[in-house]
Amino acid sequence: MKGVLLVNLGSPESPENQDVKNYLDQFLMDGRVIDLPKWFRTFLVKGIILNTRPKKSAEAYKKIWWKEGSPLIVLSKKLMNKVQKKVSVPIALAMRYGNPSIKNGLELLNKQGVKQVLVVPLYPQFAMATTETILVLAEKLRAKFFPHMEFTSLPSFYNHPDYIRVLGNSIQEALQGKNWEHLLFSYHGVPERHIIKSDITKSHCKMDGKCCFSESPAHKYCYRHQCEITSVKVAEYLELKEGTYSTTFQSRVSILGSWLKPYTDKTVSSFAKTGIKELAITTPAFVSDCLETLEEIGMEAAEDFEEKGGNKLHVIPCINDRDDWVQVLSRWIDEWALTSVET
């Protein structure tokens, strides 16, 4: 029997300090998030970050927390429930960090007799700190607790025409009737060394931006390439003129070295200072709205843009549980259920 495991990032149990601290501990101690020697990562996370950051992060979570709970969890559950009504196989939801855990999701599928699992990381672009860490942990759990199960993973869908159409339509609908001057595609940032590590050719990536547009097998695992192509494909779909859109990266942690550039916060500030009055921003690295989209962009970036002279930052919601996204994801799942998905 076949079944599907949808996996998203995760969230604290509550916006209270201790729950946020527990979540950050699990998240930041992941060797694919902070890819430093374990002894140094432990010192950095447990000795420094967890003594200062949880309080600030908890305050941020409180700003965006819904009555039903964490926005990311609530939206992920809505997506799962809508997809389950349209597909022919059982679906479970899991989070890479926090609850429901990947192990819990696999247990639910196992109880239903599922032996073949399609693991669906809810990330359009591949990155070692997102898709890779999900697949690695899932395989460890399979080998230890569910050796009778077989896994297939949904490939990154950053350039899939159906995803581009859904994302493009969501942007178009959100900006209808608004006098925006420039569209910013803001992706979650990662350290530049993650891009180098993911280069399977060990020679293609030059970190100059140009290599993203020259053909290479390295692109299968290159986060920056996949972000750049997402922006280009959506711009083509929306028939945007060159110069009216750009790509940036957010959420950097400077203590961890050099991160992908240009930075979203500096770009937003620069646009305001140079006379852009209405700026639109979309966050395609996230399928579901979360702290990084609702607070970092929707509140912090919007406030900074206006303080620097801009009039309005138009923040475009993630695709969340849109009906057209539900339809696309359901079709991909049923195609796999009837045949198979290439890995």
Per-residue pLDDT band for 209 (boundaries 50, 70, 90) equals confident
pLDDT at 343: 38
Question: Which residues fall within 8 angstroms of residue 277, CB to CB, at 6 or more apart?
Answer: 181, 310, 311, 312
Confidence band of 171 (pLDDT split at 50, 70, 90): very high
CATH number for region 161-315:
3.40.50.1400
Tokens 């860490």 identify what position?
Answer: 133
Question: What is the C-alpha separation between 7 and 106, in angstroms, rounded?
Answer: 11
Question: Rg of the Cα trace of the chain?
Answer: 20
Domain 2-157+322-338, classified CATH 1.10.4080.10, yes or no: no
**DSSP letter, residue 298:** I
Task: Provide the pLDDT for residue 342.
Answer: 42
Q: Is the pLDDT of residue 84 over 60?
A: yes
User: What type of residue sits at position 7?
Assistant: V
For residue range 29-83, list pLDDT tens digits in order: 999 999 999 999 999 999 999 999 999 999 999 999 999 999 999 999 999 999 9
Query: pTM of this prediction?
Result: 0.95
Sheet architecture: strand order including 150-153: 91-97, 2-10, 116-121, 150-153
Residues of the chain with CATH 3.40.50.1400: 2-157+322-338, 161-315
Residue 40 Ramachandran class (φ > 0 left, ψ -120 to 50 alpha, else beta): alpha
Q: What is the DSSP string of 164-204?
A: HHHHHHHHHHHHTT----EEEEEEE--BHHHHHHT-TTSSS
